[in-house]
Chains A and B, each alone.
Chain A
Amino acid sequence: MSTELIFGLYIFSLATFVGYQVISRVPALLHTPLMSGTNAISGISLVGSLVAAGSQHSTFASVLGCIAVAAATINVVGGFMITDRMLRMFKKREPEKARASTSAAAERSASTKSGSA
């Protein structure tokens, strides 16, 4: 076994352990944002794609790299954006007064929706 492999396994094992510990504290409420968030993070394979796309070894390798860059970027950009969009929606119970006005707004929008349906 090479030192490189052992070193890599060190990092992999410790990161898995940290990941498991941190993620087991995420409440079920946030499991969908967790999934899209980790998805954005795993878009870090972009780092590998960038090198593949930019090293100009051959057109074939560059084209593959370019597709990989695009696919990874979709995940990075889209993943972070949509996770934030979701998290913006999670709100605590509002004070009674504000609540009454938003529910009235919800009623209006619901009735217009039912009208169009």
Chain B
Amino acid sequence: MNPNILNFLNLAYLASSILFILCLRGLSSPESARRGILLGEIGMFIAVVATLLHWEIVSYTWIIVGLIVGSGIGTAISLRIPMTKMPERIALSHSFGGLATALVGVSEYYRHGGHVSRLSMGALGFEVFLGFLTFTGSIMAFGKLQGLITGAPITYKGQNVTNVGLFFGALAMLVYQVVFGANDMLFIAMGAIGLALGVLAVMPIGGADMPVVISLLNSYAGLAASATGFAIGSNILIISGALDGSSGLLLSLLMSKAMNRSFSNVVFGAFGTAIEPGQQSPTGTAASFNEATVEDAADVLRAAQNVIVVPGYGMAVSQAQHAVRDLAAALQKRGVEVKYAIHPVAGRMPGHMNVLLAEANVPYDELFDLDDINDDFVRTDAVLVVGANDVVNPAAKKDKASPIYGMPVFNVELSRSIIVLKRSMNPGFSGVENELFFLSNTMMVLGDAKKTLLALGGALKGEGGH
């Protein structure tokens, strides 16, 4: 090993690490965010070019193949994917990250024929286990988001016991190998448990909990990368993994808080399984609701001075973000004040609604967080709920028996009138009935949100409905 090259490498990695931190710092405001990402790209470029000078690298064939295949797929995915599919793409990229770290771990173990120091053994085991768990867990999350696997929680008796048992089994295998030296069979078994546990752990988690799961998998992918750093003695991997890990952890905490649930409750709780859809209804099955036509809703909007739009996952499903913006523009043209209320867990990943509305050219200063807008509903003439359900359910505030009790929600019921755009009267994803839909000042406009919004926009512009 040439000490000059080693010093050069370490200095290059130091520069990259600093650039990565500056990259994340740039994300503290939309104005500086793109410059931040540019710094991150420069940091990555420096790190990769420097690594190619590493003395252990003697052949570039496999490297070039991997780089070309990876760049091709990466470019294709990021250019083609629609913004509504961002949660799926994030889940997929966590799985790639997990796979990459796990394979580096396996390859490292194999290279040394299992003759590794205790530190390396511990780090490798952690890396391989967590990497494989992130890999399959993220694929499961992807499958659920994409609708390949049912989004509803899949549960069976003794599920938590099985998962916890498997986890501690793998942990015991790791400890054994750290103490008594590497064992091929145990190493393979540990990786296999990681693969299995990823599937088993995500299976019971419902679609509405996806923001937490995705954040958590983000954190795992980071920790696995950090473990790689410990295993191969690379500081830049430790640092970048720690940055990714703490970001995922922070987001998971924020998401759990926004649902008023603890981590363990999300992971072990299998939300909404207690209530079968249609089984219970707080207002009785005979409860009546005001079904309204597009023209009725247009009348309400015509009379309004200010309107708050509350988007939810339904907006992403019907790809209605452009139609929302179109309607808002028509209202603003009439002098109506329009704001958007964005709940932290609206959609399937943190910030999902913000990205969709940004795509539809909604200026970000019209988007408001829960705490910033919740006092405004009482002074609002009309609220337009577009495919949101749990985040506008008053039961979260007063019904202690409700599974979502305690979750911070929007005070939409305090506004003068509420227009809810919903596909049908079936309870939402969590299977929880929403009494907001049965209030006297609520009008339900059933049908595809995008079509309804376009018709509303047309009506307001005086062209008549479509």
Interface residue ranges, A against B (CB under 8 Å): 2, 4-5, 8, 11-12, 15-20, 22-58, 60-94, 100, 102-103, 106-107, 109-111, 113-114, 117
**Chain A to chain B: the 7 pairs with minimum beta-carbon distance, closest first:** A73-B70, A69-B66, A31-B351, A78-B74, A54-B57, A77-B74, A32-B351
Residues of A close to B13: CB separation below 8 A: 47
Given contact pairs A19-B242, A81-B74, A26 touches B59 in the complex (Cβ within 8 A): no
Bound complex: CA A18 to CA B156 (Å): 41
Residues of A close to B108: CB separation below 8 A: 48, 52
What are 17 pairs between A and B in contact, CB < 8 Å? A12-B230, A16-B243, A16-B245, A22-B28, A32-B355, A34-B351, A39-B244, A41-B44, A47-B236, A48-B228, A54-B54, A55-B111, A70-B65, A72-B70, A76-B70, A83-B37, A103-B329
Given contact pairs A28-B350, A50-B54, A77-B71, A33 touches B33 in the complex (Cβ within 8 A): yes
B430 in the interface (beta carbon within 8 A): no
Instruction: Determine if A30 and B104 form an interchain contact, defined as CB atoms under 8 angstroms apart.
Output: no
**Chain A interface: which of B76-84, B265-273, B418-426?**
B76-84
Instruction: Determine if A44 and B225 form an interchain contact, defined as CB atoms under 8 angstroms apart.
Output: yes
Instruction: Determine if A70 and B73 form an interchain contact, defined as CB atoms under 8 angstroms apart.
Output: yes
Residues of A close to B111: CB separation below 8 A: 52, 55, 57-58, 61
CB distance from A1 to the nearest CB of B (A): 9
CB distance from B61 to the nearest CB of A (A): 8
Chain A residues touching B, majority SS: helix
CB distance from A66 to the nearest CB of B (A): 4
Chain A minimum-CB-distance residue to B102: A68
Residues of A close to B369: CB separation below 8 A: 28
Instruction: Determine if B358 and A24 form an interchain contact, defined as CB atoms under 8 angstroms apart.
Output: no
Bound complex: CA A56 to CA B62 (Å): 9
Count B interface residues, CB 8 Å. Answer: 129
Bound complex: CA A75 to CA B47 (Å): 15
Selected contact of B27 from candidates A26, A49, A57, A68, CB within 8 Å: A26
Selected contact of B326 from candidates A45, A56, A106, CB within 8 Å: A106
CB distance from B226 to the nearest CB of A (A): 6
B466 in the interface (beta carbon within 8 A): yes
Chain A minimum-CB-distance residue to B250: A23
Bound complex: CA A81 to CA B364 (Å): 21
B414 in the interface (beta carbon within 8 A): no
Residues of A close to B144: CB separation below 8 A: none
B222 in the interface (beta carbon within 8 A): yes
Instruction: Determine if A81 and B75 form an interchain contact, defined as CB atoms under 8 angstroms apart.
Output: yes
Residues of B close to A58: CB separation below 8 A: 110-111
Residues of B close to A45: CB separation below 8 A: 97, 100-101, 104, 224-225, 228, 237, 241
Interface centre among A31, A42, A57, A102 (most CB of B within 10 A): A42
Contacts of B92-146 to chain A: CB distance below 8 A: 93-94, 96-97, 99-101, 103-104, 106-108, 110-111, 117-119
Instruction: Determine if B65 and A66 form an interchain contact, defined as CB atoms under 8 angstroms apart.
Output: yes
CB distance from A35 to the nearest CB of B (A): 6
Residues of B close to A80: CB separation below 8 A: 37, 40-41, 44
Instruction: Determine if A8 and B21 form an interchain contact, defined as CB atoms under 8 angstroms apart.
Output: no
Residues of B close to A22: CB separation below 8 A: 21, 24-25, 28, 243
Interface centre among A29, A39, A49 (most CB of B within 10 A): A29
Residues of A close to B361: CB separation below 8 A: 89, 91, 102, 106
Bound complex: CA A103 to CA B360 (Å): 11
Instruction: Determine if B66 and A42 form an interchain contact, defined as CB atoms under 8 angstroms apart.
Output: no
Selected contact of B349 from candidates A32, A40, A84, A86, CB within 8 Å: A32
